[in-house]
Amino acid sequence: MSPGRTLTCALASLVLLSACGTASEAPTNSADPFLVAIDHEFGTTTIEERPERIVTLGVTDADVVLALGVVPVGNTGFAFFETGLGPWTDDLVEGAELTHIGSDSEPNIEQIATLAPDLIIGVSAGFDASVYESLSQIAPVVARPAGVAAYTVPREDATELIATALGKPDEGAALNEATDELLAETRAAHPEFAGRTGAAVLPYEGKYGAFLAGDARGQFLVSLGFEIPEAITAQDTGESFFVEISPEEVDMLDGNVLLVLGDDEDFDVTEDSPVFDTLDVVGADAIVSTALDQRGAITYNSVLSIPYAIDRLVPRISEALA
């Protein structure tokens, strides 16, 4: 078993206690000790029974549910993976019957109803109020926190919210704590990351998307001790999770390391863009191109995928800096 798989299983095994609770917890009924009320973008949802059949509509929500010891009866996910679930979940879903739901923002309502869920989780989903109302006719629905843009709920908050909905707040806190400790240990083991600059970039349609620190992909580098180049952060208007960069502006990507998000570790982002040749990061041979699973791991940015990403990408980043 690889170190990453070991860390993933260790995090997933933190099933310590079961108790209901949240910042907006409803009074406990002696006849039914499970009663939780959760405030979110579309109102307040009361969960009156401990959920067993859970549909996860948020693209990363299934990771948290799996880490808490429950296999969703239906799930969405990013398009990197056929089932919507990354390879870091393989041990946790082995042998289980899975149902993939094609969209988090416009889901198939009839498909979800057929799954007969007793809880629908859409913390990292993009559905609107009308979809929420339709889903609520099927089962209680937990959406993202009020005032938070779709797909931008921080990992810590998403884990806490989902754990509360499942009646496992202590386990959610333990998962967050273990992930924070792992990141701290990684930074301590790699002091060469501290204060260095690094950008995570996705080539697309002849342009480049450089991810900001508020996005999971930028956050991965920041969590390791890197700083996003100032040329990128200076373009942050607060209205997007990335900065669009034209081929003529690739100097904005310059720094100590460049993480190129793609499907192939051998991909050469400089091949069709001679402008890259002027960058210090290119001269230092400090470009790291991801494989699809690595790209997916930092995009999910969950308590399960972070150990996987650390195991597979941190050694490569360290080597690139060396």
pLDDT tens figures, 250-284 = 999 999 999 999 999 999 988 877 888 889 999 99
Task: Please tell me the pTM assigned to this model.
Answer: 0.87
* Spatial CB neighbours of 134, under 8 Å, sequence gap ≥ 6: 109
Q: Outline which parts of the chain fall under CATH 3.40.50.1980.
A: 3-181, 192-321
Q: Is 43 helix (H, G, I), strand (E, B) or coil?
A: strand
Strand partners, 172: none
The residue among 149, 146, 171 whose CA lies nearest residue 160 is 171
For the stretch 297-312, pLDDT in tens is: 999 999 999 999 999 9
The residue among 114, 103, 89 whose CA lies nearest residue 57 is 103
Characterise 318 by phi-psi region: left (phi > 0), alpha (psi -120 to 50), beta (else).
Answer: alpha
For the stretch 196-232, pLDDT in tens is: 999 999 999 989 999 998 889 999 999 999 999 999 9
User: Which pLDDT band, with edges at 50, 70 and 90, does 11 fall under?
Assistant: low
**Average pLDDT across the chain, whole number:** 89
Q: Is 274 helix (H, G, I), strand (E, B) or coil?
A: helix
pLDDT surpassing 80 at residue 238:
no
pLDDT surpassing 50 at residue 22:
no
pLDDT surpassing 60 at residue 24:
no
CA 165 centroid distance within chain: 18
- The DSSP string of 55-114 is EE-STTHHHHHHHTT---SEE---TTSTTS--GGGHHHHTT----B-S-SSS--HHHHHH
Q: In this structure, which CATH number among 3.40.50.1980, 3.40.50.2300, 1.20.1740.10, 1.10.357.10 belongs to the domain 192-321?
A: 3.40.50.1980
User: Which pLDDT band, with edges at 50, 70 and 90, does 6 fall under?
Assistant: very low
Superfamily classification of domain 3-181: Nitrogenase molybdenum iron protein domain (3.40.50.1980)
Contact 59, 125 (CB under 8 A): yes
pLDDT surpassing 50 at residue 3:
no
CA-CA distance, 117 to 53, in Å (whole number)?
Answer: 5
pLDDT surpassing 80 at residue 162:
yes
The CB-side HSE value for 254 (13 A sphere, CA atoms) comes to 15
Percent pLDDT > 70 in the chain is 90
Q: What is the pLDDT of residue 28?
A: 39
Task: Provide the terminal-to-terminal Cα distance of the chain, rounded to the nearest Å.
Answer: 27
Q: What is the pLDDT of residue 240?
A: 82
Give the number of other CB atoms < 10 A from CB of residue 192.
Answer: 13
Tokens representing residue 218 in the block: 């930028």
